[in-house]
Amino acid sequence: MDASTPHQSYNLDIQTPAGDLKASVSVPSGFIPITEIIPLMRSLGEQAHQLAIDNATQTGATISCRKGCAACCRMMIPVAPPEAFALTTVVEALPSLKKERLLARFQAAQKTLREAGLEEGLERLTFSDDQVTDEELEPLNRAYYALRMPCPFLEDEVCSIYDQRPSACRELLVTSPAELCQDLIRNSVQLIPAPFRIGTVLSKLWADCYQGPVRLIPLPFALDWAKARENRNTRAGAGPELLSRALDAAAQFLQRQSP
């Protein structure tokens, strides 16, 4: 966000299952693209997740996730619509040769999914105006994971866009032994639950702004989705309005998590 433009500041107090999150935030007063709210919401999500991490470590648990441990990079990574636009911006900024290699990996991933018979279901998840249920999504998740296909952004078992990685990647932390993550279908792992999932919050924000389904896009199709809707990556609303809508989406998520 441009610090030279007028901003409005807010002090937030958000009650989460992991504890109260107190944060000071600032958003531009004028109209902004919906992608500009991503860093702020990710920061709130990470602060809330840190509360859960602190709770876990105080009981003696240790986070097992380390650089080069990329088992989770073979899962179906869900990307919120605003994040799809943000990823497109990241890709477009790459040097030409690196961009070509990356786009080739996206094409290879789609080919693998097509040959495995998953493309139709994943494209429906990506492009359809239907609201896909968790029950419909679970078989796709399992079949995708069974392929053990690496994320297109994975290079030498390391994320090549770590600082810009999707929210779902930031929220997956385990305290069980790392080797158990090599087979998440057969092994039970101990997750540190994210108090609220920013990808879902951003998806709800998108649905609220554009009157569509709450969509989470499988990462191999995220660039295609964004390209087909590049005219919507515009000024979606005033900063305070987008923040208010995003916080309402977070509140709805937290309410559903309440016992």
pLDDT of residue 259: 55
* Rounded (10°) CA dihedral 104, 108, 110, 112: 180
Which residues, other chains included, contact 114 with Cβ-Cβ below 8 Å and sequence gap of 6+? none
Q: What DSSP element (H or E) covers 31?
A: strand 31-33
Beta bridge partners of 9: 26
Structure tokens at 222: 């995220």
Q: What is the pLDDT along the chain (259 residues), one digit of tens a residue?
A: 555 678 899 999 999 999 999 999 999 999 989 999 999 999 999 999 999 999 999 988 888 888 878 888 999 999 999 999 999 999 999 999 999 999 999 999 999 999 999 998 998 889 888 887 878 888 899 999 999 999 999 999 999 999 999 999 999 888 888 888 888 778 888 889 888 899 999 999 999 888 888 888 999 999 999 998 887 777 678 999 999 999 999 998 888 765 5
**How is residue 94 annotated by DSSP?**
S
- Give the three-state DSSP class for 217: strand
